[in-house]
Structure 1
């Protein structure tokens, strides 16, 4: 049996939206992008939503919008995809990498210790769809001591008057905190619509802002939209609809807009997300947990507690007491049966770029321990009961086989 890791969900609703775009004669940024932004604004209960061509572009944009530059510091977790750190580096700033807690969220204790007068932002990462404790992080950045350390050097920094809290929500569309969209709990949430995500536009992302009341959301939306189109005052869709050809360039923006042909895929998926797609993911996670809980090696992933609930983007299986090499062996056995598995993620200090910058994995013991025993299993709406059963049986057999070999006494040759 062949089981893909994360195929995109393409049904007739998605096909209809894409065909509508193709036959409309307009495929770049236009009405579909505007409609997707409106749906994201509603889904996340945010003040504004701005679609871009990737999560990475969105993060670079928001750091630049806030005035992050060379000499500044941005605190990020060791356990994340490289884009979190690359967005900081692309702004010329320094990623201050800290360890994570036992739920794979950025450690609030480590964050508090890492804050300096150079700190301009914190990017917390919702790994696998599990939202970080943003209430605790906000408490830290709003203490008088922390605010006193903050040195504003741009108009946006002066207006905010404290460290900017960004949610790397690449995995967490649909996640909740206190039964509200998790995006409500950070200043900025940036979502990914990459092909493997819960909602996809093939490639793309969306910035959702929930800034304090002294920011005007409509003005920020207008400014950020200009920023995604090179700082140009008039986009192509406006000009094509009688807006005239004349335009101006107000500032040095970026070219990171999302086209309508991509937005159409996301629109088709979002229509059924809350009612159908997200519950189907949750169902798969529940079956996995029910099946694995009898195994004494099973470490149940954080999916739901009294305050927070995941978006069920990944099922991060963790196996008690195994080494990184044993984890790799188990994955090889699973994949030999036709099941695609993955690992999320290799901690940043283990990657060549960051090792060359001086980061050492020995300083991030929690991140390494979580990485070493993690296997990401397929979890998506299209999985059939037969496929789920096959995955569960294969995983149990593979883990037990590796653990059983570990128990065997070493042979002594005479």
Structure 2
């Protein structure tokens, strides 16, 4: 079986974690700080705070923007739940926007049209590793939204937060992911290009008009129960005493996990290069099958190549799912990214109706995500392409292949 997305772990990764375990200091500490420095370097920013997940990073970004009850936050309907659930966590109203026809992404104009006088922030999503260009969005939002205080007041518009869970190491023109939006959340979950098993980070662009040292202190403090000193600082001599300035959260990243990420960063450029090679092989191998791969090139785009998203020439969800089953029986594990949020019970219960998001629903209905990971050989890619072509021929015999 060709698996969908296993992590790639080397002896260097294992040794890095063992070294931390043997050091006797396994919670957040010096290794985590080195990891943060490297993440800031990769993302073209002046600072980063390592956290337990990208979800934690997104929620802290919203709180740093001053988001709370009475506010609205705009988010795409075509994304994973973490992009939107954090809006509910802080007590704000979720405002979803549809995708453009034939695309999983909303346009900046569609996002801007959803902004009201109550909009505190906008969350964009770098789906599949493709960076979303928030620069024209920032221009469209100037002078709009709830900008009565905090970071929004300094910006003169709603705060733009990027869910960059898929896009560490991507670039748009000369701008690395992390330097495009105001605040950026990364994920290091087990299926991501770079993993710490579980983990994430929050960064901010280097010219963000705020006291960035104060912002970093705030994020660190709120990730440690609101405590003004971490465990390492408290362990030094008589400096144990601390304060708690808010009843906050516990979402820091320990050195044991940071060590894994730090080790993987040493080969990350090669990781991205190979993933891009695999995408190119899929494009070549699927030519003539009617399959359309999501474009990772674009004008000035250098993708992180996280997902191989394909649109199939099939009629509907049921036939797409039959293709997935055919692939499985042929020894290939595939997936779907994503069910639009209004199809999920949690968001239906909040009053969202998929009928209001036809673009997102149409893209989802024929979407298939192919295996993309470093354990794939060139022969594996060829096998996947052959299996998919065979599955689509079976669809044709069932009379369910789309005329498109």
Q: What's the TM-score, normalizing by structure 2?
A: 0.95
Q: Is the 8 A contact 1:188 1:211 kept in 2?
A: no
2:339 corresponding residue in structure 1: 346
Q: Is the 8 A contact 1:349 1:361 kept in 2?
A: yes
1:218 Cα shift?
2.1
Deviates more, 1:76-85 or 1:392-401: 392-401
Q: Is the 8 A contact 1:67 1:153 kept in 2?
A: no
1:213 Cα shift?
4.8
Mapped to 2, the partners of 1:279 and 1:115 lie a distance apart of 38
Which string of whole-angstrom CA distances, capped at 9 and with x for unpartnered residues, describes residues 95-127 of structure 1? 100011244223222212111000011101111
1:158 aligns with 2:157: no
Mapped to 1, the partners of 2:79 and 2:59 lie a distance apart of 16
2:9 corresponding residue in structure 1: 10
1:321 Cα shift?
4.4
2:131 corresponding residue in structure 1: 131
1:197 corresponding residue in structure 2: 192
Q: Secondary structure at the match of 1:69?
A: coil
2:41 corresponding residue in structure 1: 42
1:152 Cα shift?
3.1
Mapped to 2, the partners of 1:114 and 1:211 lie a distance apart of 28
2:50 corresponding residue in structure 1: 51
1:310 aligns with 2:310: no
Deviates more, 1:242-251 or 1:126-135: 242-251
1:228 corresponding residue in structure 2: 223
1:298 Cα shift?
1.5
Mapped to 2, the partners of 1:405 and 1:158 lie a distance apart of 58
Mapped to 1, the partners of 2:247 and 2:207 lie a distance apart of 26
Q: Is the 8 A contact 1:76 1:106 kept in 2?
A: no
1:66 corresponding residue in structure 2: 65
After superposition, the Cα gap between the structure-2 partners of 1:215 and 1:397, relative to the gap in structure 1 and judged at 3 Å, is same
Q: Is the 8 A contact 1:343 1:375 kept in 2?
A: yes
Deviates more, 1:331-340 or 1:75-84: 331-340
1:218 corresponding residue in structure 2: 213
1:113 corresponding residue in structure 2: 113
1:369 corresponding residue in structure 2: 362
Mapped to 2, the partners of 1:70 and 1:214 lie a distance apart of 24
Which string of whole-angstrom CA distances, capped at 9 and with x for unpartnered residues, describes residues 287-343 of structure 1? 000111222x11131111222122110000111343111100000110122221110
Which string of whole-angstrom CA distances, capped at 9 and with x for unpartnered residues, describes residues 212-239 of structure 1? 4531222211221111111111110112
Mapped to 2, the partners of 1:171 and 1:27 lie a distance apart of 27
2:394 corresponding residue in structure 1: 401
1:248 aligns with 2:243: yes
Q: Is the 8 A contact 1:105 1:124 kept in 2?
A: no
Deviates more, 1:124-133 or 1:198-207: 124-133
1:387 Cα shift?
1.7
Q: Secondary structure at the match of 1:290?
A: helix
1:287 aligns with 2:286: no
Task: Kindly report structure 1 stretches of 4+ aligned residues shifted beyond 4 Å.
Answer: none
Paired residues in the alignment total 400
Mapped to 1, the partners of 2:381 and 2:34 lie a distance apart of 35
2:32 corresponding residue in structure 1: 33
Q: Secondary structure at the match of 2:235?
A: helix
Q: Is the 8 A contact 1:135 1:185 kept in 2?
A: yes
Choose between structure 1 and 2: higher helix proportion. 1
Mapped to 2, the partners of 1:381 and 1:141 lie a distance apart of 40
1:243 Cα shift?
5.8
Q: Is the 8 A contact 2:50 2:201 kept in 1?
A: yes
1:358 aligns with 2:358: no
Q: What's the TM-score, normalizing by structure 1?
A: 0.93
Deviates more, 1:7-16 or 1:208-217: 208-217
2:93 corresponding residue in structure 1: 94
1:179 Cα shift?
3.4
Deviates more, 1:90-99 or 1:247-256: 247-256
- CA-based RMSD of the aligned residues comes to 1.6
